[in-house]
Structure 1
């Protein structure tokens, strides 16, 4: 195994967010990255948004039940903001400060896409929320998993089985296509932080592409055969 060194000081953990539409395979890929980091003797935690901390999980239940939608886009955005504030203060920032890697299923880009692009919440409001909830904190790398809408919706339906679709899964095809377009736009506008990955192949093939992106963005020397 080739020892790898990171581009940033070793004292701080790395923060990787995973984004994408419904059924894009975020949970699967996060699990695979966590396993590979563990094999490389790197501490990592897996978390999610909305949620990830006790207070934020309560808000997650409210939002995904559809209650936030009834309040309107601005109020729903404030619910997400409250959840993120608790999540960052009690989970993400402490872990990073301790040198632990944080793998997060959704973060600020989801707000920009779901509430900003699709909910038409103003950029001014979103920027103000960011200043309060995250300050200067941003992911070191954002993996955006891209999958055609029809495939993603089929995957999401298979995953939930007989359970009712949540607040966002229940939206129509047009909503999900706009969602995909918005994520692709974010990847194009911020290539230094974001990597767009085709998530339609076999999960192991996608995982190889995800690890290549992580290695190229966060490690100083390329990994050779046999490295994590």
Structure 2
């Protein structure tokens, strides 16, 4: 059976961490051999780039610099973790992937889609997640949750309008891509987990798992 690539996406405070823990539990119950990744990050070099892009600096980081750092980290992760795992028959469960760049840098930063598409083509070389679960939440609610966890990083400190544009881009892309399943993350946690379980279980059944 061909290994599959599953990604969890969402704004800050959407509950990605608990969603990933639930997905890990479900995959294990179905006896799926998988590895976990996160973006940006997932390799020593990519983690260094993660720290670079999330930290607050004395100078303002340009949108273009942020975009290039994100794709540099993604290239490392794809080359050293994701592609080898899939080639070896291991499924991959990712905390964010290319959809994040399309939403955050494309929607939030309002960068040109042709630039994003060009970088995506160079780095991804056609690789696309088999299933993406997008946790949709009102940005104001999500940011309030994120602030409750502690100090916010450079991106989390952006204006609400930035996250509203990011969310709109997420939803626009999801509406045109059947491999992206939207889960309402503003519900009670039990309802959110029930919906995630339903989506992932249906996908596993389709794969003969």
Same fold flag (TM > 0.5): yes
Counterpart of 2:45 in structure 1 is: 55
C-alpha displacement of 1:220: 2.4
Deviations 1:71-102 (A, max 9, x none): 41112211111100000010111111122121
Counterpart of 1:186 in structure 2 is: 173
Decide which moves more: 64-73 or 115-124: 64-73
**Where does 1:4-43 land on structure 2 (aligned, <5 Å)?**
10=1, 12-43=2-33
State which structure, 1 or 2, has the greater radius of gyration over its C-alpha atoms: 1
Counterpart of 1:196 in structure 2 is: 182
Question: Quick check: 1:99 aligned with 2:89?
Answer: yes
Q: Give unmatched runs, 5+ long, in structure 2.
A: none
Decide which moves more: 142-151 or 59-68: 59-68
Does the 8 Å contact 2:67/2:105 carry over to 1? yes
CA distance, structure 1, for counterparts of residue 95 and residue 167 of structure 2: 16
Question: Quick check: 1:209 aligned with 2:195?
Answer: yes
C-alpha displacement of 1:45: 1.8
TM-score (norm 1): 0.85
SS for the counterpart of 1:219 is: helix
Counterpart of 1:4 in structure 2 is: none
TM-score (norm 2): 0.92
Aligned residues: 209
Decide which moves more: 82-91 or 197-206: 197-206
Q: CA RMSD in A?
A: 2.0
Does the 8 Å contact 2:23/2:200 carry over to 1? no
Question: Quick check: 1:142 aligned with 2:128?
Answer: no
Does the 8 Å contact 1:24/1:152 carry over to 2? yes
Question: Quick check: 1:108 aligned with 2:98?
Answer: yes
CA distance, structure 2, for counterparts of residue 113 and residue 140 of structure 1: 18
C-alpha displacement of 1:128: 1.5
Decide which moves more: 179-188 or 20-29: 179-188
